[in-house]
Amino acid sequence: MTKRASPGSRTINSIYTSLTSSLLHLKKTHTSSLDLQHQWSKFIVFLSGLLLLFLLPDRTESVEDDTDDPVDSNTLATVNINTLATVDINTLANVNINTLATVDINTLTTVDSNTLATVDINTLATVDSNTLATVDINTLATVNINTLATVDINTLARIIYFFEQNYKRVDTDGHPRQYATAINVPKEQCQQNFNLNTFLTKENAVIVKENITDERNALYQGSELIAAGTKKQKKYNIHSESLLLNPANNSPMSNLLNKRKDGCSVFYTFESPCVDTCLNPSSSHNIINALKKWKEHDGIKAFVFKNFWKYDTDKDLQTAFRQIVAHVPLFRCESENECYACKGEGNTPIDEHCLPPKNTNIEL
């Protein structure tokens, strides 16, 4: 492949040379005028640039053969100015401005603004606001109130054992009698860091037992502990659960709960609440309204029993105990090392450890 100038180029070259020579001659004839000399120089530069615009593209034009096709100046000028100018200005301008601008502005902007923004704002925001908010508010709140606000089962066994060792009513013949106690203590005392050395230090066990054994009163009210035996009436005895929980709005229990709004409250009854009175909504001595009131108290809550009331072993305790579970968690503690969560929430049945075995003989 060779490069050569076309006939059109040679023609324009000749015109350029002649015109330049004439202009230079004209310039020399006016050397006395510096201003005119300066103007002629500027005109020559302008004309040179104009002619070069036509000549330069053609001087580097590639040809495939040695055939000299006649090309006139008009056609050549048309190629140089219109065609090439079109490539330089329109085509390349289109590439630079429209095509590349599309990549830079629209495409990349779409990635940065829309796509990434979608990730940052919508997707992540969804995680932060909706998903995590659901965990923080609904799920974690449920954990804090229902799960974490539940007494440690091993600590509960130690607490009930403490009650049995210090406040249990026993007849002179050694036969145990019904009694109930309730506490409202710092929540730490119901969790794994239970400290027996600091537990109920303001309560005198001797005084407690004297008060609850006296069946004319059968009630003790201390700073962190309340306790009751059974109070004799002419026709019946008032059960210890009712003595502590009624009347619901002004009972020994409500007064105790008011002393520490977020403390751990545990209610313990030696025998399970009776179905016919304590858990009977139509009875004037029922404890259900008091349990509703207790439910409003912040902090850990536990309703605990040890034995079954001897007249209720053949009754529907599955249904009866649900009236307790509807308001506070129910537990059964049989010994220092043996406590059970009775469950019964929602559709969950009462745990078998909290129900009497079948065919139990009634104790007389």
Query: Do 150 and 186 touch, CB atoms closer than 8 A?
Result: no
Q: What pLDDT shows up at residue 72?
A: 47
Give the C-alpha separation, 204 to 202, whole Å.
7
Q: What pLDDT shows up at residue 161?
A: 96
Query: Do 350 and 342 touch, CB atoms closer than 8 A?
Result: yes
Percentages helix, strand, coil for the chain (3-state, rounded to 5) are 50, 15, 35
CA contacts within 13 A on the Cβ side of 344: 25
The residues, ordered by sequence, that sit 6+ positions from 198 with a Cβ below 8 Å of its Cβ are 189
Give the C-alpha separation, 300 to 295, whole Å.
10
Q: What pLDDT shows up at residue 236?
A: 86
Is 129 buried (19+), middle (13-18) or exposed (0-12) by CB count in 10 A?
A: exposed
Q: What pLDDT shows up at residue 172?
A: 85
Please give the model's pTM, rounded to 2 decimal places: 0.61
CA dist 155 to 75, 281, 338, Å? 105, 32, 11
Site of tokens 């230079």: 24
Give the C-alpha separation, 162 to 153, whole Å.
14
**Element (H or E) spanning 327, and its range?**
none
Domain ranges of the chain: 2-71, 153-354
Report residue 104 as tokens.
């830079």
- Which one, of 294, 274, 270, 295, lies nearest residue 285 by Cα? 274
- From first to last of its 364 residues, the chain has per-residue pLDDT tens of 444 555 555 555 555 565 555 555 555 554 444 555 555 566 565 666 655 555 554 444 433 444 444 444 444 334 343 443 333 434 333 434 333 333 343 433 333 434 433 434 344 334 344 443 343 444 333 333 433 468 999 999 999 999 999 999 998 888 999 999 999 999 999 999 899 999 999 999 999 999 999 999 999 999 999 999 999 988 889 999 999 999 999 999 999 999 999 999 999 999 999 999 999 999 999 999 999 999 999 999 999 999 999 999 999 999 999 999 999 999 999 988 899 999 999 999 999 999 999 764 544 3
Site of tokens 């008009």: 74
- For 170-192, give one letter per residue: b (16+ CB within 10 A) or e: eeeeeeebbbbbbbbbbbebbbe
Q: What pLDDT shows up at residue 47?
A: 61
